[in-house]
Each structure stands twice: as structure tokens, then as C-alpha cells.
Chain A
Amino acid sequence: MSQLILLAVVNGLIVGAFYALMAIGLSLIMSLSDVINFAHGGFLAVGAYLAYSMTPYVGFWGGLLIAPVLTAGLGLLVEKVLISRVYGRDPLYSLLLTFGLAFIFEDVTRYIWGAQGLPYQVPGWLMSPLSLSLFFLTGYRVFMMALIMVVVGALFWLMTRTRLGLRIRAGTLDLETVSILGVNVRVLRNLNFGIGIYLAGLAGVLAAGQLGLQPTIGDSLIMPSFIAIIIGGLGSLTGTLLGGLMIGVASGLATVFVPSASEAVMYVMMAVVLLVRPQGLLGEEGRF
């Protein structure tokens, strides 16, 4: 039994880390650009498929390194050419635009790589369990968790120790004042979008190693990511990380005890948080 609970918690933490990775990117974009990026899951799929296509040439590690960067590059382009045009307009515009983009990404990946699932090769030594008693804990899962935590740590560093990060945080509060201090806010929003999309691309590559490839690979992550943001508090990176891990573990545990409620549980948690603390767990401190 305790083994079963441990399994559920570990699974939950891993899934939760993915939610957090997606949610942090969404939250960055939402806070600085006031755009709810429904195409986020599409970018995740692009990252996964790019890694798949380049792996034969650059290997697993090369793909892990390069694919998220290329995805971020695509993000910079999409923001500059399309999304930046709807800034400051009625939210309906960005909603329709990113929704449309999500469909385009899905269809284009389906067109290029096919609708059927594809396997994604992870180095064999990463796939073996760490020990017999912890048979479910493969090296890859530990590696994923560790990498996600390192990347989130690097993001925290960026946001608190670099001028770029400080300007992004300042911009979430008052973009106008950032601009009169000599900062080009178009470029700032563009880079911020790229950072968010990098995280989505990375999530895509990592998820591919665990789940294989599907054009819809990002779909199951997007709703929980929004919930993670709401639970953690919009604008709080720590809160969003915590929110993602919490709903991951909660739904993991529910899978063991009340399987039918494994998805409902995160909505219930969201409802409770909204009732008790509408600004989210760590939302009070304001933004970031």
C-alpha cells in the first residue's frame, strides 16, 4: 500500500512538474502581454516533433538542447508577426488568434509527421529502473524532474538577477513606466514570449520521451496548467510551480483511491482556492 502511495506521489510530481513548466510560460505571457496563449500546447507539440526529427542527426541530447531553442525561435517569430498586432485590443482578438494558431499547429504537425503516434527513443540506460523495490522510478523520470527543477531555478535567477528579468517583472506591473526608462517594450514582450515558448518546447521534448508523440500531445496539459496558475496565483512564479505540483500529486493520489475523480480533483481544488483565497495561494504579494 505505501508502495502504491509512493508510486502515486512520484507520478503526480512528474506530471505536476510538466503542468508547472507549461503554466509558468503561460503565466509569463499572460502577465506581460495580457494574452491567454491557447496555442501553448501547440508549441509543445512542435518542440516534441522537432526533437524527433533531429534526433537521428544530433542524438537525444542534441535534440533536448536544440529543439526547445528552435521552438522558442518560432515563438519569437509568431509573436512579432501575429500576436503583437492584437496587443491593447479587446481580449477577444487574442483569444481567437491563439485558438486559431492552436488548430494550425495541430494540423501542420499532423500533415508533416502523420496522425498516428510515433515512438521517441530515450537512451537505454535512462530507461531502467533505479532499483527493484522502486521499479516504477526510471532514471528518465528522475532526470526529467531534476532537469525541470534546474530550468525553473534558472528562470528564477533570470527574473531576480538580470536586468531583462527585472524589466519583465516591472513590466507586468506598469509597462508604460518601463518604456519611459528607455526600454523597448516591443522587444521586451517578444523576448518574454520566447522564454515562455522555450519552456513549452522543453516540456514537449521531455514529454515525448515519456509518452511518445501525438499531434495532440499538448492538449491534456493545457487545462491543468491554467488551473495551476489560478491555484498558485497569477504572477507568482513560486505559486505557479507549487500549484502545478499540488494538482499533479492530488490527481495522482486520486488515481489510486478514487480513479474516477482523478481529473475532477483539480477542479475541486481550484474551486476551494477561489472561495478561500481568490488571489491564489501566493498571489497576494502582487506580481512575481
Chain B
Amino acid sequence: MTSALTARGLQTYYGKSHILHGVSLEVPEGKITTILGRNGAGKSTTLRSLVGLTPAREGAITIFGKETTHLPPYAIAEMGVGFVPEGRKIFANLTVEENLKVPVERPGSWTIATIFDLFPRLKERRNNKGRQLSGGEQEMLSIARALLLNPKLMILDEPSQGLAPLIVREVFRIITQMRAEGITVLLVEQNVRMSLEVADQVYVLNDGQVAYAGSAADLRADEALLQSLAGVSAEKWEIE
């Protein structure tokens, strides 16, 4: 099994605060890998290190066989790494269609036209400003925007955060569809039940360290293990 992304011993800081203490990950190609963990465990920081926004001070990252540890974010994106940031981060001052023109054009099947086929709601709202969209629509736009890079690896940070259950379901459906189309997915989630359902591999982070790494099926089947991992954290994750 080849891996799309490998991270070894990441040590990441925000100024003087030491957040990641040697995080190592393996993201297998064509699979969905999910990272779970309580609030503040370092999930977002891990993703930020992987995409070059908050470079790791120590450690090494390899994406598609290329060392990317010190590359700037745009260079990592250009390799075909899509990122859907926490809180969606759509451009509120631009219309839906304008938002979709910000990403660089990488060749592939995703164009604004095919995006509008997948997200008819975005097509309807194409001339509305980002700030006029509902949370669900913003999430769709954030995913659509990253898809326009025609990524081979898609990294998502809590895409279901704050969304109504029906829309959460839709988000997870799109994520599994990505895998069906051959896109490797790295997914950070708070929604443990649903992400374990779709994921192949799972990592649990705690205090900036990997507390568990294994197959999602194993963790799904082992309720006691799941509970004990949740117990590792101060507060429980939502295990619905």
C-alpha cells in the first residue's frame, strides 16, 4: 500500500507554545484517513503543518513521494493538495462564482461547470456574496473551491462543524464520493461516529501526540477501546 502523505516526528510551535510533540502519520492512497481527538488536541495544527501554513520546526513531510516540509502553502497546493480549512474561510466579500475563481486552475475533470452540477444550490446562488450564504452552503462552497484544484489529496478540517444533521450527512456523502473518484482523503472530525463509519484508517491525537493509530473497522468494533480513547481526553467527544 503506497502512501499519499507521510509525516514523521512533527514538532510544531505557535511562537513559544509547543503544540505538536512528534506527530507521525501515514495517509494511504485512495483511502479515507480520519484524525480524531478532543478540542485543543492539535488536530488543526497538524493539518496546518501538513499544508505549510504553520511549518513544523522539526520532522519531515513527504507528499506523493516529494519532500514538502519547507514548501510554502501555494507550492503544496499546486502539487494537488486541496484544503478545506476549519470554519470554512470562504471569501465573504466575493460572490459564490468569484470565490470559485480564486483557486489556481490545475488540469482535471473539475471545472466551475462540473462543480455546479454537483452542487446545484451553489449554482442557484452563484451571484450571492459569500456572507449571504447559510452555514451549509458555505461548507459546500469551501469544498467546491478546494475541488477546483483537482486535488489528488483532499484535507478537510471539521467540515461538519455547526451544520444541521441532514447537511452533515450530505457532507459525508461527498467525502465518500471523493474516495470513489480516487481522491485520497485526510479528514479531521469531531463527529466520531460518522467519520469512523466512512474512514479506512484512524488516528487519535491527544495533547499533540498520537494516542492511537489503526484501522477504522477495528476501532468501530471495539466499543471499550473507543470509550477508553475518549477517556484519554478531559472532555468526552460526542459519540452519538
Contact = CB atoms under 8 A, between A and B. Distances in A.
Nearest to A185: B74
B23 to A, nearest CB: 19
Contact of B89 (A163, A177, A183): A177
Interface string A182-213: 11110000000000000000000000000000
Given A166-B98, A167-B102, A176-B53, A184 B74 contact: yes
B72 interface: yes
Interface stretch (B57-65, B77-85, B186-194): B77-85
A180 interface: yes
A182 B107 CA distance: 13
Interface string A263-280: 000000000000000000
Contact of A173 (B52, B53, B93): B93
A184 B77 CA distance: 10
Contacts of B101: 163, 166
B102 A166 contact: yes
Contacts of A183: 74, 102-104
A287 B104 CA distance: 22
Interface residues of A, number: 23
B83 A180 contact: yes
B5 interface: no
Contacts of B94: 166, 169-170
Contacts of A177: 85, 89, 91
A251 B175 CA distance: 60
A285 interface: yes
A255 to B, nearest CB: 38
A180 B51 contact: yes
Nearest to A172: B93
Interface centre among A160, A169, A173, A180 (most CB of B within 10 A): A180
B122 to A, nearest CB: 16
A182 B145 contact: no
B102 to A, nearest CB: 5
A181 B77 contact: yes
B157 to A, nearest CB: 11
A202 B42 CA distance: 50
Contacts of A180: 51-53, 73-74, 76-77, 83, 85
Interface in B73-118: 73-74, 76-78, 83, 85, 89, 91-94, 98-99, 101-104, 106
Interface of B: 51-53, 72-74, 76-78, 83, 85, 89, 91-94, 98-99, 101-104, 106, 131, 145-146, 149
Interface of A: 160, 163, 166-167, 169-170, 172-174, 176-185, 285-288
30 contacts: A160-B98, A163-B101, A166-B94, A169-B93, A169-B94, A170-B91, A170-B98, A170-B99, A170-B102, A176-B73, A176-B89, A177-B89, A177-B91, A178-B102, A180-B53, A180-B73, A180-B76, A180-B83, A181-B74, A181-B77, A181-B103, A181-B104, A181-B146, A182-B104, A183-B103, A185-B74, A286-B93, A286-B131, A287-B93, A288-B93
7 A-B pairs closest in CB distance: A182-B104, A182-B77, A181-B103, A179-B73, A170-B91, A177-B89, A180-B83
